[in-house]
Amino acid sequence: MKHNTIVIGTRKSPLALWQAEFVKAELEQHFPDRQFVLQHIQTTGDKILDSPLSKIGDKGLFTREIEYALLRGDIDLAVHSLKDLPTQTPDGLAISAITKREDTRDVLISKTPTTLLTLPKNAKIATGSLRRRSQVLALRPDLEIHDIRGNLNTRFKKFFESNLDAMLLAFAGVHRLALDVHISEILSHDLILPAVGQGALGIETRDGDTDIISMVQRLNDLETELATKAERSLLRSLEGGCQIPIGAFATFADRDFTLSAFVGSLDGKETLRDSISKSDVTTVAQAEDAGIELAERLRQQGGDKILSAIRNPLH
């Protein structure tokens, strides 16, 4: 069925709106005869701002209500930060396009010029991510980690009104909202591996809606798709979510594919890091197999024990 007015579902935070507007502009360029409109939807993660993400549930905190709207037919497609999308897509829905990803690194925001490794001893550093917490404490066990929640603009406001020394965020969001001036350091992957799918947008559609699917596939970037599907396959194999400190990054160079991953305890005292390289990875199945293989290697190196202790802290 051909849609003349296409409704794009999105969260209403400034970053989510930037992402949705970006996709809307791209689609308008490809399909000038169609009309595209945004519909704002509030998610559970947007409503509960006084608790750490890891304490208020697991998967789908920033996507579930949007996916319900898509299943009901209230919207025709949804734009998400790919890192917010659970690795299991609900029945009836599909991720039909993944956009070319932005720089995947994390950044340090601080009130005075510094780096993660040169922050003063016992400095207070804010993050809402267990992945960042684990990797930072592995590097700097002296640092005090403080939880911070809210959309990007809210976090900046909270940070500059606090006695915190630094804050960790994704470069992609900071850059998209033109807040680069506050970046003290862009953290290399050698220091901190990003979240699965970081920097990419996932466009979700209904299964079988061939008109919408064929439209959004014009925005799909194959290299990003293969990389992020390898990362998501690894995360799915390790059964990770918001509550699990897992980082991963896949990259291509001249058809050679490398996937690196991190698993760590909440206090950063136990960490595992490994990578896998393949040549001639050209299909999603090959990329996903690499993710499964690396996940299995991490398990055998003690990843299962680390993850089990996080999931069952009383045992």
Q: Is 315 inside any structural domain?
A: no
List the helix and strand counts (H, then E) for the chain: 10, 13
Structure tokens at 234: 């690894």
User: Are residues 122 and 90 located together in one domain of the fold?
Assistant: no
User: Which are the catalytic amino acids?
Assistant: 84
pLDDT digits (tens, 9 = 90+) for 230-251: 999 999 999 765 568 999 999 9
Q: What domain count does the chain have?
A: 3
- For residue 49, pLDDT beyond 60: no
C-alpha–C-alpha distance, residues 187 and 247, integer Å: 14
For the chain, give the percent of residues with pLDDT over 90. 79
CA nearest to 245, candidates 309, 188, 187:
309
C-alpha–C-alpha distance, residues 233 and 283, integer Å: 13
The pLDDT value given to residue 42: 83
- For residue 309, pLDDT beyond 90: no
- For residue 46, pLDDT beyond 80: no
pLDDT digits (tens, 9 = 90+) for 273-306: 999 999 989 999 999 999 999 999 999 999 989 9
CA nearest to 116, candidates 187, 201, 179:
187
User: Are residues 69 and 215 located together in one domain of the fold?
Assistant: yes
User: Are residues 212 and 94 located together in one domain of the fold?
Assistant: yes
What is the pLDDT averaged over residues 68-84?
94
The pLDDT value given to residue 268: 94
Please name the amino acid found at residue 108: L
Q: Is 167 inside any structural domain?
A: yes
CATH code, 213: 3.40.190.10
pLDDT digits (tens, 9 = 90+) for 140-184: 999 999 998 888 999 999 999 999 999 999 999 999 999 999 999
pLDDT digits (tens, 9 = 90+) for 21-33: 999 999 999 999 9
What is the pLDDT averaged over residues 49-77?
73
Backbone angles phi, psi at 183, to 5 degrees: -75, 125
Q: Is 194 inside any structural domain?
A: no
